Amino acid sequence: MTVSYETMRRWCAKVGQTYANALRRRQPQPGDKWHLDEVFIKINGRLQYLWRAVDQDGTVLDILVQNRRDQAAARRFFRRLMKRTGAVPRVIVTDKLRSYGAAHREVMPSIEHRQSKYLNNRAENSHQPTRQREQAIKASAPWAEHSGSCPPSAASRPTSGPAAT
């Protein structure tokens, strides 16, 4: 059986959107308790902030990289998160960064906001794979290749000249 490119294009135009909508409907709905957190990362030598939202089941809802950590950045992250998920949480849990409180009062004032460094452990654990990748990259950097590969006494010995007997 031979199928032309034009036949495939027509089939995708006819059935593709229906199939995509069915897949989207099957995605699990986010939980009603969201944990939000940010972490510092270096991208091309510049310090950036990785904002992450996780629901109570540990499902990552959204990730955003920004160069600021102020109220406007938190507001942008809240709006983007609500738009992407299409849902409104019952509770949001954050650390004690003041930007979260200010943005929360502006964007979603009717939602309960809990600020605690202990309650937000779910979001902190979500950052672990990112931190592990960052550490692996640092360890494989060119300047770190030979660190610790030879004993300190061998590094201080002269390599040229007469050998001591």
Q: CATH no. for residue 53?
A: 3.30.420.10
Mean pLDDT of 102-107: 90
Q: Report the pLDDT value the prediction gives residue 21, as an integer from 0 to 100.
A: 86
User: In this structure, is residue 49 part of a structural domain?
Assistant: yes
Distance between CA 33 and CA 138 in Å, rounded?
Answer: 34
- Structure-block tokens of residue 62: 């959204």
Mean pLDDT of 121-129: 61
- Range picked from 29-43, 131-145, 147-161 for highest mean pLDDT: 29-43
User: In this structure, is residue 146 part of a structural domain?
Assistant: no
Host domain of residue 129: 33-135
pLDDT digits (tens, 9 = 90+) for 6-45: 999 999 899 999 988 888 787 777 888 998 888 888 888 8
Asked if 35 contacts 53 with a C-beta cutoff of 8 angstroms, the reply is: yes
Q: Report the pLDDT value the prediction gives residue 156, as an integer from 0 to 100.
A: 47
Number of domains in the chain: 1
User: In this structure, is residue 140 part of a structural domain?
Assistant: no
User: In this structure, is residue 162 part of a structural domain?
Assistant: no
CA 76 vs CA 65, 90, 106: distances in Å: 11, 19, 11
Question: How close are the terminal C-alpha atoms of the chain, in Å?
Answer: 83
User: In this structure, is residue 67 part of a structural domain?
Assistant: yes
